A and B are shown apart, each in its own frame.
Chain A
Amino acid sequence: MGTAIDRFDEKARQTFDSIGRTEVYRGELLRHSVYTRLLHWAVALFFFLALFTGFGIYLPWLFRWFTPVFGGGALSRILHPYFGVAFVFFFFFQMLNWLTPMIWCDGDSKWMRNIRRIAASQEKLEPPDTGFFNAGQKAMFWEIVAGCIVYLITGIILWAGARSFGATAVAISYVLHDLSAIIMLGGIFIHIYLSTIGEPGTFQAMTRGAVSEAWAWTFHPAWYKKVTGRDPREDYEKARQQQNTTPKANSNPN
């Protein structure tokens, strides 16, 4: 992508690295910088604030027990657009930050065709061309980019209302805005599942910022190869053999 964006991201990462710390122990790799992590949690915070206030507007009768958390339906309605704007704002920087690693490539299309086997856990190791992000993560990223554009356009129309944009625009926006939210809500279930109990060892990438090498060669072999210069499959075989010969001496780093 554009060098100006790269320079901006690089500067931001350096600035935030001087504020926060990332400890990478032996047998670990740096996964996400402080800047990336802060952006991620800012996006997450405002996503959930917008989601929860949105519930009260989406199906008030169903979430009547919940809306008082935000001071009732009317206050939810007032707060929701601000949370939404903050969500889009922080995600915008995350988008710039991740623009390069999120570019779709041939391996990703292959990955997507193979998604059934991956979801069924039939392949213990990711295909060797899976880089910093796999195709599933990229799909979710671009879904959020598209979703943010939809949110922003339809959200502004809904915020200003029919008096400014006309009844038809509001009627269309209402449907698109909710549809986008439903898709993103579905995606967030998968995202949270895979980053916690679904793929153990992943969550620390967004908290401490570091992951184990075993995690890296299992889920992102091409990235492992790029940062360590070693062959992921070889290192995996080595670790396996080591485990078989001296099972007690070398406990799994994970």
Chain B
Amino acid sequence: MTDRKTLQTEKISGHSGPSPGLGMQRDFEVCKLVDTTTCIGCKACEVACVEWNDMPFGMTTFDNTYQTMPETRWNFWNLIKFNEHQREDGTIQWLMRKDQCMHCADPGCMAACPADGAIVKYTNGIVDFNQENCIGCEFCVSGCPFNIPRFNPGTKKVYKCTLCSDRVGEGLEPACIKACPTGCLKFGSKDDMKFIANERARQLKENFGMENAGVYDPQSVGGTHVIYVLHDATDPERYGGLPKNPTIPWSYTVWKWLFKPVLGAFALFGGLGVLMHYVSVGPRRPQPEPPEKEAANGNGD
């Protein structure tokens, strides 16, 4: 991405000084902005996701809601969660949230994954699964604070939203963004999306009386590359399991970067230790041992 040649103007004729616009190309972290306040639950993004990623058709589940299925699946990465929230005055608020991988800056799946190169994080912030290196241990499932990675029992590999890394790499926006009819989904640099999200939250507070409106960009996982504008940012849980303070189990970090190498070396030294014992102390033989001279022509051990 960074060294891609662009049609950006470097020099122009008859112009002194640097050419206008030179250096405007930035290396930036990408971000998807989901404005839950303007989502209408049309599920166009769901269809676009299945379509672009060429997913096999899967049965939907009807459980008396508008929700396509209870949770995302290995072949269904993008799900609008429909949640009914009762306000204090008894009225119902219908909350729709697009659920997908959050592309954390500090990904829990990556902390848990033991396989070499099965999970990659690109410099633009996208966290992607590389199925050819996946060993199917499903540790990422337990490492993810958002309950996103899904195991495919057929291929024994884990799958999730790629933030359309294949499209983004070509300078396109993710499929879900392209399909969104209301503009509640936006895609751009993290800085820009944060700016827009904060502006929108301010607008909601000032013009719509939503004094708790805010942006969901949890810093406990270093921020995410999918951020939400919420009607009430003080209680993200009501949007269908959006954790207020997502964390990665500490055991993964400690175990993987401290215990594993240290104890692995310790086990290896166990092997060296017995060899050292053989060299320094020597074997214990059944007693009485044959005398030295006898050992040479006896049936010694």
| A residues whose Cβ falls under 8 Å from a Cβ of B | 56-62, 64, 72-74, 76-78, 119-121, 124-125, 158, 161-163, 166-168, 170-172, 174-175, 178-179, 182, 185-186, 189-190, 192-193, 197-201, 212, 214-215, 217-219, 236, 239-240, 243, 247-248, 251-252, 254
Instruction: Specify the main secondary structure of chain A where it touches its partner.
Output: helix
Query: B136–A174 contact, CB under 8 A?
Result: no
Sample of 27 A–B contacts (CB below 8 Å) = A57-B137, A58-B264, A59-B264, A60-B114, A62-B264, A74-B136, A119-B277, A162-B142, A163-B141, A166-B142, A171-B249, A174-B142, A174-B251, A174-B252, A175-B259, A178-B263, A182-B264, A182-B266, A186-B266, A186-B270, A190-B274, A193-B278, A215-B286, A217-B287, A243-B288, A252-B286, A252-B300
0/1 interface trace, chain B 115-130, chain A, CB 8 Å (1 if under): 1100000000000000
Given known A-B contacts A58-B114, A214-B287, A186 and B277 have beta carbons under 8 A apart: no
Task: Give chain A nearest CB distance to B18 CB in angstroms.
Answer: 46
The 8 tightest CB contacts between A and B, nearest first, are A73-B135, A162-B142, A170-B142, A171-B249, A193-B274, A200-B301, A167-B142, A214-B286
Closest A residue to B133 using CB positions: A73
Which residues in chain B, 274-301, are within 8 Å of chain A measured between CB atoms? 274, 277-278, 281-291, 293-294, 298-301
Q: A73-B135, A121-B284, A198-B283 are in contact. List 11 more A-B contacts (CB 8 A).
A: A73-B133, A73-B134, A78-B136, A171-B142, A174-B112, A175-B251, A186-B267, A199-B285, A201-B286, A218-B284, A247-B294
Closest A residue to B275 using CB positions: A193
Residues on B with C-beta less than 8 A from A179 are: 259, 263
Given known A-B contacts A163-B141, A240-B288, A189 and B271 have beta carbons under 8 A apart: yes
Counting chain B CB atoms within 10 Å of each CB, which of A58, A76, A161 scores highest? Answer: A161
Residues on B with C-beta less than 8 A from A121 are: 281-282, 284
Task: Give chain A nearest CB distance to B252 CB in angstroms.
Answer: 6
User: At the interface, yes or no: B187 with Cβ under 8 Å from chain A?
Assistant: no
Residues on B with C-beta less than 8 A from A77 are: 135-137, 156
Task: Give chain B nearest CB distance to A24 CB in angstroms.
Answer: 16
Query: B290–A161 contact, CB under 8 A?
Result: no
Query: A57–B138 contact, CB under 8 A?
Result: no
Residues on B with C-beta less than 8 A from A214 are: 286-288
Task: Give chain A nearest CB distance to B54 CB in angstroms.
Answer: 22
Given known A-B contacts A74-B156, A201-B285, A214-B288, A251 and B267 have beta carbons under 8 A apart: no
Query: B260–A59 contact, CB under 8 A?
Result: yes
User: At the interface, yes or no: B159 with Cβ under 8 Å from chain A?
Assistant: no
Residues on A with C-beta less than 8 A from B143 are: 167, 171
A64, A120, A198, A217: the one contacting B274 at CB < 8 Å is A198
Bound complex: CA A168 to CA B288 (Å)? 57
Residues on A with C-beta less than 8 A from B259 are: 175, 178-179
Residues on A with C-beta less than 8 A from B291 are: 243, 247
Query: B141–A167 contact, CB under 8 A?
Result: yes
User: At the interface, yes or no: B151 with Cβ under 8 Å from chain A?
Assistant: yes
Contact size class for B? 35 or more
Query: B277–A193 contact, CB under 8 A?
Result: yes
Query: B263–A182 contact, CB under 8 A?
Result: yes
Query: A74–B135 contact, CB under 8 A?
Result: yes
Closest B residue to A162 using CB positions: B142
Given known A-B contacts A186-B266, A252-B298, A200 and B252 have beta carbons under 8 A apart: no
Given known A-B contacts A76-B135, A178-B255, A252 and B249 have beta carbons under 8 A apart: no
Task: Give chain A nearest CB distance to B245 CB in angstroms.
Answer: 15
Query: A59–B267 contact, CB under 8 A?
Result: no
Task: Give chain B nearest CB distance to A63 CB in angstroms.
Answer: 10
Query: B290–A199 contact, CB under 8 A?
Result: no
Residues on B with C-beta less than 8 A from A189 are: 267, 270-271, 273-274
User: At the interface, yes or no: B157 with Cβ under 8 Å from chain A?
Assistant: yes
Given known A-B contacts A74-B157, A197-B283, A161 and B141 have beta carbons under 8 A apart: yes
Residues on A with C-beta less than 8 A from B151 are: 161, 163
Closest B residue to A241 using CB positions: B288
Bound complex: CA A104 to CA B260 (Å)? 33
Closest B residue to A170 using CB positions: B142
Query: A172–B251 contact, CB under 8 A?
Result: yes
Bound complex: CA A178 to CA B251 (Å)? 12
Query: A171–B251 contact, CB under 8 A?
Result: yes
Query: A78–B141 contact, CB under 8 A?
Result: no
Bound complex: CA A200 to CA B139 (Å)? 44
Given known A-B contacts A163-B141, A190-B274, A218 and B136 have beta carbons under 8 A apart: no
Given known A-B contacts A167-B142, A218-B287, A73 and B115 have beta carbons under 8 A apart: yes
Residues on B with C-beta less than 8 A from A119 are: 277, 281
Bound complex: CA A121 to CA B298 (Å)? 23
Task: Give chain B nearest CB distance to A41 CB in angstroms.
Answer: 21
Task: Give chain B nearest CB distance to A197 CB in angstroms.
Answer: 6
